[in-house]
Amino acid sequence: MSPRAYDVIIVGAGIVGAACAAECAKEGMRVAVVESSCVGGGATAAGMGHIVVMDDSDAQFALTRYSQCLWDQLADDLPPECEFRRYGTIWIATDEEELDHLRRKEQFYRERHVPVEFLDERALAEAEPNLREGLRGGLLVPNDSVVYPPCAARFLLERARDRGAVIFVGRPVARLDEQGVTLRDGSFLPAGAIINATGTWAPELMPGLAIKKRKGHLAITDRYPGFVRHQLVEVGYLKSAHAHEASSIAFNIQPRPTGQLLIGSSRQYDVESSDVSHAVLARMLARACAYLPRLAELSIIRTWTGFRAATPDNLPLIGPLPGHEHLYLATGHEGLGITTSLGTAKLLIAHLLKRPPAIPPEPYLPSRMESLTCVKSSL
């Protein structure tokens, strides 16, 4: 094998790695993807697959909005098993304070030309008859959608493969450096650029990276078609998503095309075990019942956990690793990796090909915070 057999090697075949692979292959690069376990087996497998525009910061908005447009462009090509549906999100307010929050959210989206519809108490009840009475209102964001992430990751990888990408699955990486990737079996894959898209595992390959594991629980019901029609999220969700205390819970439920209901969400720092915690599960389900009382009678058929790759400022790390010419990062997407995978891939391509990106890349640059990337110089 000649030196630099690949223009780019992507480590990690989750949704982010798969999106990067598809994008790089489309640009005619010689691409390899190296995955230690299976395609879409990490946070991609565990997540809800909610494609959602977020308003918590301009940077988060820009990336989620841009990515959502990319998903919309991709939608017609997605095979049926990706289960892409434009269900829309309804953000729900329970009291006066949350109603103010909802109004601010509405204004935020309107100013940025995101279609939204305010639902008063009655309109909300009509839209979602199983919600309890007495909720103050909802904000419908009709363009938000859902997807089944493992199959979406697979689809993107297959696109890459069709354009010549080489996929190594079940091949753990021992280390990476400026020259290439050394696999645990001893083989060495030389490359011009290396993208670390390994989610929560990123620090294992780049020690010192400021990525923390943030555990989440999810539960799925048996089939109850029509029980909810949109993804329903409490407007206080961000309080939970941004709370940096040990654990937090927020109501978040999603209808699946199978008629099943996917119920979240929980966030926990400093938990290593992937076991389902009954206490967390019970709190999460109780929270959902507080919004949807009839949910109590429905059957849960499975529960699971996953780990989000969280950064201190809640924004992903997309771009070159400071001090390293050939190493790039595409990780730290926390709970938004499915949504932002496509935008991440576009930003990375812009870095690799030194092209102007479609959105300002600065907020996501790994260099934005010294402390974020105190990666050992041994790399």
* CB 85 to other proteins: min, Å: 16
Q: Label residue 34 exposed, middle or buried (CB < 10 Å: 0-12, 13-18, 19+).
A: buried
8-state DSSP, 30? -
**Site for other proteins, residues 131 to 170, rule: CB under 8 A:** 150-151, 154, 169-170
8 Å CB contact between 156 and 40: no
d(C-alpha 256, C-alpha 223), whole Å: 9
Choosing from 69, 123, 125, 276, the residue that interacts with other proteins (CB under 8 A) is: 276
Backbone φ and ψ for 118, nearest 5 degrees, come out as -85, 130
Phi, psi of 344 (to 5 degrees): -60, -45
Task: Report how far residue 123's alpha carbon sits from residue 93's, in angstroms, rounded to the nearest whole number.
Answer: 13
Neighbours of 147 (CB within 10 A): 25
Q: With CB under 8 A as the contact rule, which of the stretches 126-134, 228-236, 279-287, 371-379 interacts with other proteins?
A: 279-287
- Of 298 and 338, nearer to other proteins (C-beta) is 298
* Least distance in angstroms from the C-beta of 344 to other proteins: 21
Contact between 355 and other proteins per CB under 8 A: no
CB closer to other proteins out of 44 and 311 = 44
Choice between 69 and 276, CB closer to other proteins = 276
Using an 8 Å Cβ cutoff, are 173 and 183 in contact?
A: yes
Q: Is 257 in the site for other proteins (CB under 8 A)?
A: no
Q: What are phi and psi of 128, to 5 degrees?
A: -140, 85
Nearer to other proteins, 202 or 261 (CB): 261
Per DSSP, the three-state class of 377 is coil
Using the rule CB under 8 A, is 297 a contact of other proteins?
yes
Kindly provide the b/e burial profile for residues 148-179, where b requires at least 16 CB atoms within 10 angstroms of the residue's own CB: bbbbbbbbbbbbbbebebbbbeebebeebeee
CA distance 186 to 189: 10
Residue 247 vs 314, nearer CB to other proteins: 247
Q: For other proteins, which is the closer residue by CB, 74 or 261?
A: 261
Contacts of 233 (CB under 8 A, 6+ apart): 89, 90, 91, 92, 250, 251, 252, 253
- The nearer residue to other proteins, 248 or 277, going by C-beta atoms, is 277
Q: Report if residue 218 touches other proteins, rule: CB under 8 A.
A: no
The site that binds other proteins (CB under 8 A) totals a number of residues, namely 33
- Which H or E run contains 220? strand 212-223
In whole angstroms, the minimum distance from the beta carbon of 275 to other proteins comes to 8
When binding is defined by CB under 8 A, the residue of 298, 318, 321, 345 that contacts other proteins is 298
Is 302 near other proteins (CB under 8 A)?
yes
Structure tokens at 343: 């935008």
Cβ neighbours for 5, distance < 8 A, ≥ 6 positions apart: 30, 32, 189, 190, 191
What is the closest distance, in whole angstroms, from the C-beta atom of residue 181 to other proteins in the complex? 21
Query: Binding string to other proteins for residues 169 to 208, with x set by CB under 8 A, is what?
Result: xx--------------------------------------
Interface pick for other proteins out of 282, 312, 323, 353 (rule CB under 8 A): 282
Is position 300 an interface residue for other proteins (rule: CB under 8 A)? yes
Rule CB under 8 A: is residue 249 a binding residue for other proteins?
no
* Pair type for strands 137-141 and 89-93: antiparallel
* 41 contacts other proteins (rule: CB under 8 A): yes
Binding of other proteins at residue 281 (CB under 8 A)? yes
Among 174, 246, 296, 374, binds other proteins (CB under 8 A): 296
With binding defined as CB under 8 A, does residue 289 bind other proteins? Answer: yes
Could you give the 3-state DSSP secondary structure of residue 188? strand
Q: Give the x-and-dash track for 303-342 against other proteins (CB under 8 A).
A: xx--------------------------------------
- The residue ranges that bind other proteins (CB under 8 A) are 38-41, 45, 81, 150-151, 154, 169-170, 221-222, 275-276, 278-279, 281-282, 285-286, 288-289, 295-304
